[in-house]
Structure formats: structure tokens, C-alpha cells
Chain A
């Protein structure tokens, strides 16, 4: 289990290779990468900046990851979340889960991304071509995606 919050880009291939290295009991490795889009509704975007709450971010990500490891039999899991300014095409977040079988890996991976989107304290500012910034509103669809995993709200209170 591991969680990292960093400004630097991540190397997907290197991260996945390191996650499974030396463990040949792993039969399935699922990953999700969130990327910066160049559009938002009707606006063309040139960049995005992610602010976060250092300390609480790591704590929430670790808790969500621990919850996934309780629910599914995982051999390895990883969350890397970036902050700071990013341009379209760059990776924002990487979630990866490895297990003996595909179902646990795939489900845990989706659980992690659904939950972190509603619990990890990150906020996006979108920047348009003119350089103007706009705070992004939370989506109700994200809450619905997290809610379908049932109770097990990793930190309950809200």
C-alpha cells in the first residue's frame, strides 16, 4: 500500500512495473489515470491548477486505500495524486491495484477513484486561453459514483 502526493509528473510504466515487481502471485493489475482535459463545458482550457490541504490529503488517501485493502484481497495498491499547475494531456492522478484475480483489482481500482474524488481535499482552478481562472464546482454525479459503493464511507462524517 502506498500513497504519494506530488507536484512532479508520474511515469505510468515505471509505477506499474515497480508495483508488481517480484510478486508473481499477482495475476491482475488494474490502473486508472485521470488526465487534464482541454475543455470544460463550453470553454477551451489552457491549463489547470490543483490546490490541496497538505496533511489531510495524505490522511484521507491512506484511509481510502486501507478501506480498499479491507474490502478486496489485494497484493499491492498505489495512489499518486498531483497538485500544482498542469496542462492538457498531463496525468493528474494514478490509481492502481494488483491482485491474484482481475475482479478484485478492477473493482478496487474503481472504488479508489470514485471515493477519492469525493473525499480527498483537492480543488481545481481551470484556466482559459485568456489566462482567467475559475474554481471548478463539485459534480453531483461524483457523489453518486461514490455512493454506489455503499456505506463504508471511509470517514463517515459529512
Chain B
């Protein structure tokens, strides 16, 4: 199981802030995760509609599409940050 977190408007679309998910075998990288998530439902498809607006952190570190993901990871998806 991986722990997925959604922030800001991604959370509005997915309808959940946090969930435990069993990643399918073909999902071993951030890029593969982003390609797979929309198949989970229309809310996910909507949230991930524009890949340019999605940032990913794996275990609280910014991650690139080729970075690995797996069971036990905390994977956060969010839009570009707007603090300060």
C-alpha cells in the first residue's frame, strides 16, 4: 500500500485528502503513477487533466517523473505552490 495525499484543488476533484492505495504492478515510477491515476474515476481524471500543473513529492521530497514509487511511500500530489 502507498499513502496518497492530495492538496489544494486536486483534493477538491479527487474528493479525498488522503488514501491508502495498492499500486498496480505497472506503476513503479512517478510518471507511471500519474498515467494510472486518471483511470480511477472522473474526479481523478479531472484533477490530473493538465500535467503541467501537477507537482509530486515522494516521502516529502520533490520528485521527477522517473523517480521510483512503491509500497510504503507517502506520495503527495499538488499544484504549484503559492505561499509567502
Contact = CB atoms under 8 A, between A and B. Distances in A.
Interface of A: 34, 50-53, 55-56, 59, 81, 92-93, 113, 116-125, 135-139, 142, 155-158
A52 B83 contact: yes
B79 interface: yes
B84 to A, nearest CB: 4
A92 B84 contact: yes
A156 B79 CA distance: 17
A138 B57 contact: no
B34 interface: no
Interface of B: 5, 7-9, 55, 57, 60-64, 67, 76, 78-84
Residue in B78, B79, B80, B81 with the greatest tally of chain A CB atoms within 10 Å: B81
12 contacts: A51-B8, A121-B57, A121-B76, A122-B83, A123-B82, A123-B83, A136-B82, A138-B81, A138-B82, A156-B62, A157-B63, A158-B55
